[in-house]
Structure 1
Amino acid sequence: MIYLDNNATTRIDDAVLDAMLPFLKEEYGNASSLQHKLGRTAHQAIEKSRSSIANYFGASSKEIYFTSGATESINMVLRGIFERYQSIGKHIITTKSEHKAVLTTLEILTKKGAEITYLPLDNQGNINLSDLENSIRPETILVCLMQANNETGVIHPLAKIAEIISSKDVLLFSDTTQAIGKYAFDYAKSGIDICCFSAHKLHGPKGIGGLYIKRKTRPIQIEPLITGGKQENSLRGGTYNTPSIVGMGKAFELISLKYQEQTAELRNYFENRILQEIEDTAVHASHADRLCNTTNILFKHVKSAELMPKLINIAVSSGSACVSGDRDPSHVLTAMGIAAEDALCSLRFSLSKFITKEELDVAIEDIKSAVQKIRKDSPIWQLYKSGVL
């Protein structure tokens, strides 16, 4: 199996698994049980991971909070901010291309009185910064914009966005899940107030993630989503998932610019061969600033639902894993103004540090063969080539 679905999840790194194993077997203590050695050992391991993650963000360990993943983090922030800041306002700014964890949660909040402004996107997936500035109102409490899109890889200019809202007394929350480890970015100086992440997007374990909540003169107030004990400074109750936290810390330690450069070269190689060797193909958001590992490709008049089953040796998706079972076109592509027909004929390929050029060569040949077979048997393709469509 040639794995090209790394934006859905990644293979766990061997070094990450090795770091986790002792805390699944010998060092199995509850990190909140500080009265004995096993508990203290688990606690120390958690704090070491917290420090490793904080170092990546250029943050203090006290600014890092653990959750079960980005979806929980997103829910905690959106629901928690809305709950605490209603005395100021109920207005939130975002886009239609956000992850479904954001969009679905905001839909729920509208039923509780939230007012949501969805900034329009151009055909490259970018927002107009003037639209953002003009959308901010006295009752705006939060701007929620992902750092990099999970379907197209388009990167929002968060530092510039932060500059715009810094004088407006508005919080900036970013879903940084896809961006972490894929390009250099100074989070500490970016002006982001809160961001979330998941370990399984960077070769760590599933089911663990977290939040970076910047400490400010006026502390950011977030209502807890999960209450219980006093874990995570009473922001998130529950027994610590020590093995996964340890694994996530190790995954952050393994992030390397070397892998980012290698992945970018292979992504460009893959795109160029597809465009040159398969007619009527196009890369969505090809002129935008994109992640090094992500490409979303249109195969004209070849439905992704028909193409994917023929790629039996390739793991690939038609979009976000959370909506991959939908029959509807990608909400990200349609938000960019892409026609529904073309959105339904698009596939997302996402690479990792483990992919090789040889694997990509095999994948390209399989894709070419499958596309040619589908088009050969397609009356719509024949009408298109004859100029009727």
Structure 2
Amino acid sequence: MDNSFIYFDNNATTPIDDRVLDSMLPYFKENFANANSTHQAGIAANSAVKDARNNVAELINADPTEIIFTSGATESINIALKGLSLQHTNYKKHIITVKTEHKAVVDTCKYLESLGFEIDYLEVNNDGLINLEQLKQIIKKDYTLLVSVMWVNNETGVIQPIQKISTITHQANALFMTDATQAVGKLTTDVLENEIDIMCFSPHKFYGPKGVGALYINKKSKAKILSLQHGGGHEAGLRSGTLNVPAIVGFGEASKCAIKDMTYNEKHISEIRNIIENRLLKINGSFLNGSKSQRLYNTLNICLPNFDANIFIGKYKNIAVSNGSACTSSLIQSSHVLSAMGLDDTQSLGSLRISIGKANKFSDIEKLVQAIEFECKNGKSLL
């Protein structure tokens, strides 16, 4: 990427931290052994995986034995939802989730519906937050198997009241799961304090490598997950296959860096986000999508007048922003998240997600804001 390119799509993925890359490189060539081999090189690779597991566990205040390495958060979600459900086919066939969840959760739940599971999708208010009273009304004591609520929404940055949700869930003798992909590494995500049974996340959202993720399963909970992949019994029998040692090592290093850098990152990133937000909200007719107060400090989702997000993204090739989730933003359709929050198609298609990372500079702001201001002034209305 040349120096004229500015990247404001950090909720899709982040650039790898130099410290993380340096930690990974030896495991591609010099220390390349299979972590399950019993010779000296294999034992060394296994030790590196063990260290990484400890670092990941420390980041979320878990026990290392509760961390299962996967290929990413989407696989973690699939293992958890399918494996848990298929373990309980004779009873507790009720699952509750939210309309604004990531497609990895929504689509997996739709698949489980086809197998006969009863799925309730909670509504959200205009600010993107769920209604806790609705959850209390829908949850069925001793029949609901699982409540799955995303910690931080990937499109709006809205932060759900996770601890309150887990309390309601456990009062009904159900399990609580959260997709914490946008939260881990950016916020304090203490699994014990928040009474989380199952959590899914991935390091490429906090300056780690792609192609690796984690599934946390609280060993003290009643979460019993059926293995969906067989062939060696790796990762506590839940995810057979040769471990991706370089990526796992990078995951561990990214976790260490997140612990060190979290306070500074929040201060730097929130300052940039707030400047951009204040500038864009001065555009007549613009408004914020999602709660202003219950929101991740790096995310700005804004609806703009006389604006087409898809045209903007295609026109300004030296600016990386998003019109929604990276998993679906290539499709010219309304965001299911914004639609659930009450936006119509015109408003949804006229909304931009701007997600800031630690590599962004204050000098990036003017280029982005001027381009958006120009398009709002000179663009064609979608109406």
Query: What's the TM-score bracket when you normalise by the shorter of the two chains?
Result: over 0.9
How far did 1:230 drift? Answer: 1.8
3-state SS of the aligned residue for 1:174? strand
How far did 1:219 drift? Answer: 4.3
Return the letter of the residue paired with 1:314.
I
3-state SS of the aligned residue for 1:179? coil
1:18-97 alignment runs, 5 A limit: 18-34=22-38, 36-97=39-100
Show the counterpart of 1:264. 270
Which of these residues, 265, 275, 287, is aligned with residue 281 of structure 2?
Answer: 275
CA distance in 2, matches of 1:282, 1:185: 29
CA distance in 2, matches of 1:21, 1:308: 34
Show the counterpart of 2:233. 230
Return the letter of the residue paired with 1:332.
V
Deviations 1:323-364 (A, max 9, x none): 012221000000111112100110101011111111112211
CA distance in 2, matches of 1:372, 1:301: 7
3-state SS of the aligned residue for 2:192? helix
How far did 1:288 drift? Answer: 4.3
Larger mean Cα displacement after TM superposition, 244-253 or 336-345? 336-345
How far did 1:33 drift? Answer: 0.1
Return the letter of the residue paired with 1:209.
G
CA distance in 2, matches of 1:103, 1:367: 32
CA distance in 2, matches of 1:231, 1:286: 41
Q: TM-score, normalised by structure 2?
A: 0.95
CA distance in 2, matches of 1:75, 1:57: 21
3-state SS of the aligned residue for 1:187? coil
Show the counterpart of 2:369. 364
Matched, 1:111 2:114: yes
CA distance in 1, matches of 2:232, 2:304: 52
3-state SS of the aligned residue for 1:234? coil
Deviations 1:24-57 (A, max 9, x none): 01000000002x1110111000000000011111
Return the letter of the residue paired with 2:286.
T
Structure-2 change in CA distance of 1:238 and 1:142 (3 Å): same
Show the counterpart of 1:386. none
CA distance in 2, matches of 1:68, 1:353: 25
CA distance in 2, matches of 1:230, 1:9: 30
Structure-2 change in CA distance of 1:286 and 1:89 (3 Å): closer
CA distance in 2, matches of 1:371, 1:120: 31
Q: TM-score, normalised by structure 1?
A: 0.94
CA distance in 2, matches of 1:116, 1:11: 36
Matched, 1:6 2:10: yes
Which of these residues, 148, 159, 163, is aligned with residue 163 of structure 2?
Answer: 159
CA distance in 2, matches of 1:224, 1:258: 40
CA distance in 1, matches of 2:170, 2:92: 17
1:272-311 alignment runs, 5 A limit: 272-276=278-282, 278-311=283-316
3-state SS of the aligned residue for 2:119? strand
CA distance in 1, matches of 2:222, 2:334: 41
How far did 1:286 drift? Answer: 4.1
Work out the percentage of aligned pairs sharing the same amino acid.
44
Larger mean Cα displacement after TM superposition, 136-145 or 18-27? 136-145
CA distance in 2, matches of 1:180, 1:58: 11
- 1:181, 1:260 within 8 Å by CA — same for their partners in 2? no
Which of these residues, 125, 129, 134, is aligned with residue 132 of structure 2?
Answer: 129
1:91-240 alignment runs, 5 A limit: 91-137=94-140, 138-216=142-220, 219-240=222-243
Deviations 1:276-318 (A, max 9, x none): 2x32211111434000100111112311122222222110110
- 2:51, 2:252 within 8 Å by CA — same for their partners in 1? yes
Query: Which runs of structure 1 show a deviation greater than 4 angstroms over 4 or more consecutive aligned residues?
Result: none
Q: Which runs of 5+ in 1 are unaligned?
A: 382-388
3-state SS of the aligned residue for 1:322? coil
Return the letter of the residue paired with 1:4.
F
Aligned residue pairs total 375
Return the letter of the residue paired with 1:372.
K
CA distance in 2, matches of 1:167, 1:363: 47
3-state SS of the aligned residue for 1:243? helix
- 2:335, 2:348 within 8 Å by CA — same for their partners in 1? yes
Show the counterpart of 1:312. 317
Return the letter of the residue paired with 2:336.
H
- 2:148, 2:176 within 8 Å by CA — same for their partners in 1? yes
How far did 1:87 drift? Answer: 2.5
Show the counterpart of 1:384. none
Deviations 1:68-97 (A, max 9, x none): 000000100110111012233211001110
- 1:176, 1:197 within 8 Å by CA — same for their partners in 2? yes
Larger mean Cα displacement after TM superposition, 141-150 or 228-237? 228-237
